[in-house]
């Protein structure tokens, strides 16, 4: 499963890229606002840091303006993936650019039938928001399972990009179901490293090594 980082903060992305674990980045208008940066400037910096897809989202809600904004966003770098909302105009925009071989990420998906529409429109990625569904007592991971089944039934090439992930279990269940990608805020990917037995075991090894009085490098 691919790991995307859901942030527009360069200082959060760079150290994670250095681990070799980052396959892409997702941004949205809220993350751009939080960064306080110009969308073109920060997106270009992210694209320079990351080899994989970098989702940059349109701000418009109508087809004609989405297409204009898309042209400007695609011009930032070759690895920009256009992000559009799951609306009739968004899907129309998706098809327009997918037919040209461009990457499109269809976002704000909350049902399996919406995901079916995105796949038929040629989306490279569909972004179901599992955390937001969990927030209203709906089964976010159940949605991922339904989408996986539908896509496998018809051999759709659209990749399932699990979004709005909040904790380790979202990532674990996404991998067990067979999602293609999980995008996560930096704090979640850092949580994946954590296990109390790893920490206690390492502390014991360090303590015992100090008692040997040895050095590996000297």
Catalytic residues: 83
Q: What is d(CA 45, CA 36) in angstroms, rounded to the nearest whole number?
A: 14
Cβ–Cβ contacts within 10 Å for residue 47, how many?
19
Distances (CA, A) of 200 to 42, 124, 168: 39, 42, 20
Residues paired with 5 in a beta bridge: 25, 184
> CA 46, 49, 54, 60: dihedral to nearest 10 degrees?
20
Q: Could you say which DSSP state residue 21 is in?
A: -
Indicate the burial class of 87 (C-beta count within 10 angstroms; 0-12, 13-18, 19 or more). middle
């Amino acid at each position: 499963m691919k790991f995307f980082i859901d942030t527009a903060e360069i200082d959060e992305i760079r150290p994670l890229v250095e681990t070799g674990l980052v396959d892409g980045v997702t941004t949205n208008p809220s993350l751009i606002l939080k960064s306080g940066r110009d969308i073109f400037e920060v997106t270009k910096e992210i694209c320079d840091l990351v080899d994989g897809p970098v989702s940059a989202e349109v701000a418009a809600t109508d087809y004609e303006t989405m297409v204009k904004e898309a042209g400007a966003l695609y011009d930032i770098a070759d690895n920009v993936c256009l992000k559009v909302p799951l609306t009739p105009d968004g899907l129309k925009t998706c098809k327009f650019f997918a037919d040209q071989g461009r990457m499109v990420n269809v976002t704000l998906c909350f049902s399996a039938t919406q995901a079916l529409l995105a796949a038929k429109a040629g989306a490279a990625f569909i972004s179901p928001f599992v955390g937001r569904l969990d927030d209203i007592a709906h089964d976010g991971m159940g949605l991922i399972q339904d989408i996986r089944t539908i896509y496998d039934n018809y051999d759709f090439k659209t990749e399932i990009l699990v979004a709005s992930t909040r904790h380790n279990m979202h990532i674990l269940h996404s991998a067990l179901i067979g999602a293609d990608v999980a995008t996560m805020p930096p704090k979640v990917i850092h949580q994946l490293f954590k296990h109390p037995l790893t920490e206690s075991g390492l502390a014991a090894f360090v303590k015992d090594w100090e008692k040997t009085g040895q050095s590996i490098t000297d």
